[in-house]
Amino acid sequence: MTRTLPALIALMLALSACTGPPPPAQVDAFQNIYNQSSAGVPSNAPMTLGQPVAFITSENVERHIGHVRDSNEYWGKVVPTSLTNTAVIADTDPTYFSHQILAMLKRHYPTLQYVHDFREAVSTGKKGAILIDLRIKWMEPYGDRTNKVDIDAYFFDTAMNPASKLNGHAEYKVPYAAMEVKFQRTIDEAIADLESNINAYIR
């Protein structure tokens, strides 16, 4: 019981159980960044990406990071430190996604540089841009126990118009009574799927 209890508590943290902060609502990938809907961007359209490249993250990415931070703070007040499973908390560290997606993109585009928005991209001389969006469907403890991760990458041409959308998808069904959710593994698989599409469509 001494090992099971902290794992269950940490799992509750990872999943933001109903008594904790609810997952943030998903918004359009371009919200507050680009003055149009992302729905019209063609999927899997071949293109050549100009360099140097700007790297921009969507509001959904920022909301995910804030949600996990808020959940950690909430459960940190509810659960004694001695009962916290730090390994599971580390598995859901939101900075892991940011580091891994940036590392993958830099392998393809060494000139990649983070900017806050397209105005900064233009002012700093970028000739192309990649906007990364993150959509997560968390498992339901008493329903569909599958965590699903979708990473959408929007590629912008030299005029900073969206020219192609690529997706990376992965999912993991959490077994009953499991003590971990293998979230980082799911992130890695989604990034690998996205990278295979980059290799196929972007030059």
What whole-number percentage of the chain has pLDDT above 70?
71
Give dist(CA 88, CA 21) in Å, integer. Answer: 18
Distance between alpha carbon 197 and the CA centroid of its chain, in Å? Answer: 17
Low-confidence ranges of the chain (pLDDT < 50): 1-10, 13, 15-18, 83, 85, 87
> What pLDDT digit, counting tens, does each position of 190-199 carry?
999 999 999 9
> Given this model, what pLDDT does residue 5 score?
44
Kindly report the CATH number that applies to the domain delimited by 27-59+92-201.
3.30.160
Q: Is the pTM of this model over 0.85?
A: no
Domain definitions of the chain by residue range = 27-59+92-201
> What pLDDT digit, counting tens, does each position of 31-77 carry?
999 999 999 999 999 999 999 999 999 999 988 877 667 566 655 66
Q: Which helix (H) or strand (E) holds 181?
A: none
Cα distances (Å, whole numbers) of residue 179 to 60, 90, 136, 140: 27, 13, 20, 15
Q: Which helix (H) or strand (E) holds 60?
A: helix 59-78
Mean pLDDT of the chain: 82
